[in-house]
A and B are shown apart, each in its own frame.
Chain A
Amino acid sequence: MEDFLQNLLNGIAAGSIYALIALGYTMVYGVLKLINFAHGDIFMIGSFVGFYAGRYMARHATGEAASLGSAALVLLLAMLVCGIVGYLNERIAYRPLRNAPRIASLITAIGVSFLLEYGGQMVFGPDPKFFPTLVEKKIIHLGTITTTNYQFIVLAVAIVFMGLLQYIIYGTKFGRALRAVSFNFETASLMGIPTDRIISMTFVLGSMLAAVAGILYGLSYPKIDPLMGIMPGLKAFVAAVLGGIGNVPGAVVGGLLIGIIESFVGGSQFSSYRDGIAFVILIVILLFRPSGLFGRYEPEKV
């Protein structure tokens, strides 16, 4: 029983990071029908901004209150940088291909991904770096299970940003326009919606959420390197497909499920398959329910 609760808690914490990344995949897919394979690498950039900013702060700030404030500042900075990278990614790499066949954008996305990964090795160096301690780590005992304040921070921050996204999508004029664009690009433009600007903003939002994930990841698993975005990126992609790609709540549920399933596999006798289980899930979902848990089935238009 306590193993069960322990695995569940670990799974939820890891899953909420996947969920934050998956939201970016699913939002971009929603408006452009493009799998932005560079998204996992934006997450990596978020982590690295956190690394450099956190290290700088650690030298210049002292005290408990300063630590929380500077952690928030690090987070905002990472979001800002990733937002800009996401914007440029769309503006330079994808927009010129807007009317090209979809495969062209897909190949470009893979190219951008490589560029960020190996460009990252050039800029940051290929060796793993140790993510700074933004917040003092505390061990918490809850009955028989052991946890840290990090898991609660991860969960709380993820919930706050998911709530914020929910509000943006369903409570603002921009969100309404975003939903219109993802339903039908062309009709949205007839409403006077500047579709290009909405698409840019979608990339910015998704990249900001990836930055949040990058910081939370660095906090939880403090070894970071320029290729760190590949695995979480792929798993978050699986999470988005599991939830029904293009479906926002689906990405959250998919992310949590992947995190929880991974955690249970990791805690079982099959623990060496921990990293493979997400892909087993991908194959199963593509075979039996390609539209995902919450997706609508839409036959490909010819």
Chain B
Amino acid sequence: MSPVLAIHDLEVAYGTIAALHGISLEVEKGEIVTLIGANGAGKTTTLRTISGLLKPRKGDITFDGRSIVGSKPHIVTKMGVSHVPEGRGIFANLTVRDNLELGGYLRKDKITAQEYERVFTLFPVLKERIRQSAGTLSGGEQQMLAISRALMSRPTVLLLDEPSLGLAPQMVQTIFRVIREINAEGTTILLVEQNAHMALVTAHRGYVMETGRIVLTDNTKALLASDRVRKAYLGG
């Protein structure tokens, strides 16, 4: 089976400073794949390049077998890749409902009542907040909104950038439970995380990044047991 998302020898630079030195990775349909590593390793850069926000200097990205390198972000979204950016990217000046509706911007049909119900089942608090301005939500609620909004385009692949960043432990548990549920319902997920432990117990496979390179890849069981990962990312 060919992977739904594949990156081959990707090089990205900010001006003259290289951020990715030729990374390759693959995501199979139905998987949760995580990309872990320290700050500045290039995880966010990788996601931003996949969704078209950054143009690579070299290398290829294919989605469903077709190259998406150089496509504008709205085209990549249209093809079925939905990106929840770092810092959540909530439209704080719009209501919660407007945010959700924007997630479905490309759809010809309206977002159905069932879809709203599904969001409210995953995150009941959004139901109470639906008319509120999204800027008034707590960090955790904003993350819930960002994930729900990304689902409105019915993506094949969901890119999540640091969904647990800055959230209370209880909220982190909720977010990761939902990530598993979304995956169980058929959405493929590429998850970038600094919380390596949560990421590794949630995902099926993982890649470890250091300074713009992938230094290790395996299934998450093996990574959790690996000395190198334990020392560097799991606190011994």
Contacts and interface: CB of A to CB of B under 8 A. Distances in A.
Interface stretch (A145-153, A180-188, A213-221): A180-188
Interface of B: 51-53, 72-74, 77-78, 82-83, 85, 89, 91-94, 98, 101-103, 105-106, 149, 153
A191 B105 contact: yes
A245 to B, nearest CB: 15
A193 B89 CA distance: 14
A192 interface: yes
Nearest to B89: A187
A183 B83 contact: no
A272 interface: no
A101 B102 CA distance: 29
Given A187-B85, A189-B72, 5 more contacts: A176-B94, A180-B102, A186-B85, A190-B77, A191-B103
Given A176-B101, A193-B74, A194-B74, A187 B91 contact: yes
A179 B94 contact: yes
A288 B91 CA distance: 29
Given A176-B98, A186-B53, A187-B85, A192 B105 contact: yes
Contacts of B77: 189-192
Contacts of A189: 52-53, 72-74, 77
Contacts of A187: 85, 89, 91
Nearest to A296: B93
Contacts of B92: 183
Q: Is the interface of B mostly helix, strand, loop or mixed?
A: loop
B74 A195 contact: yes
Interface in A193-219: 193-195
Contacts of A194: 72, 74
Nearest to A189: B73
Cβ-closest 3 pairs across A and B: A187-B89, A189-B73, A192-B77
Given A189-B74, A192-B78, A184 B98 contact: no
Contact of A192 (B85, B94, B98, B106): B106
Contacts of A186: 53, 73, 85, 89
B85 to A, nearest CB: 6
A173 interface: yes
Contacts of A193: 74, 102, 105
A52 B144 CA distance: 57
A177 interface: yes
Contacts of B83: 190
Contacts of A192: 74, 77-78, 105-106, 153
Given A176-B98, A176-B101, A190 B91 contact: no
Given A191-B103, A193-B74, A195-B74, A179 B85 contact: no
A177 B102 contact: yes
B102 to A, nearest CB: 5
B190 to A, nearest CB: 14
Contacts of A177: 102, 105
Contacts of B153: 191-192
A194 B51 CA distance: 14
Which of A176, A187, A191, A195 counts the most chain B CB atoms within 10 A? A191
Contacts of B101: 173, 176
A180 B94 contact: yes
A194 B78 CA distance: 10
Nearest to B77: A192
B93 A190 contact: no
A244 to B, nearest CB: 13
Which of B73, B85, B94, B149 counts the most chain A CB atoms within 10 A? B73
A179 B102 CA distance: 10
Nearest to B146: A187
A58 to B, nearest CB: 46
A195 B75 CA distance: 11
B161 to A, nearest CB: 11
Contacts of B74: 189, 191-195
Contacts of B98: 176, 179
